[in-house]
Amino acid sequence: MDLNQAWTLINRAELLHGASEIELTLDRLASRITDALADRFPLVLCVMGGAVVFTGKLLPRLGFPLEFDYLHATRYRDGTRGGEIEWSALPRKEVAGRCVLLLDDILDEGHTLAAAKAKLLEMGASEVQIGVLAEKKLNHDKPVMADFCGLTLPNRYVFGMGMDAYGLWRNLPAIYALKED
């Protein structure tokens, strides 16, 4: 995709949730997470690369002690259809015996988050709670549920706030959907 195609993509996209709505959503999520985990000294893990924007905006809102690390698992590789899970990095911090808060940008089909949760439990985490900025509404069950969820999205290909379209536009402060043909 070239520069002109990238601009065409965003210019034809539909805004689903604007930047100010996202900021209010982050405040609400942080409050719920704080109520649940402030006394747990959790290990907070960001699922790279999509959750980096969401995590970066959420962490300063969490006013309690925590440790931070990341893991990198993906199914999309700059495309729009998921494939097999690819593990690029596991957490460097000790997971065994810890309460883990796993943060991701979106709970879509749930395969990546389910695999990450299973991997962390296998590594000895005492519990894994999942926080997502958004969950896509689908007409079937998912292999995992989010403990903390900010927004519900339609079953469309979405981007912005860390989510990408063809590897682009993760940097947007709002959430958009690709134009339906």
pLDDT tens track for 60-112: 999 999 999 999 987 655 555 556 787 889 999 999 999 999 999 999 999 98
Q: Which residue reads 């996202």 in tokens? A: 22
- The predicted model scores a pTM of 0.92
- Candidates 177, 125, 159; CA nearest to 54 is 159
User: In the chain, what are the helix, strand and coil shares in percent, each to the nearest 5?
Assistant: 30, 30, 40
Q: What is the CATH number of the domain that holds 140?
A: 3.40.50.2020
Task: End-to-end CA distance of the chain: give it in Å, rounded.
Answer: 18
Give whole-number Cα distances, 38 to 9, 32, 101, in Å. Answer: 41, 10, 11
The domain of 36 spans 28-154
pLDDT digits (tens), the chain, 181 positions: 899 999 999 999 999 999 999 999 999 999 999 999 999 999 999 999 889 999 999 999 999 999 999 999 876 555 555 567 878 899 999 999 999 999 999 999 999 899 999 999 999 999 999 999 999 999 999 999 999 999 999 999 999 999 999 989 999 999 999 987 6
For residue 44, being part of any structural domain is answered with yes
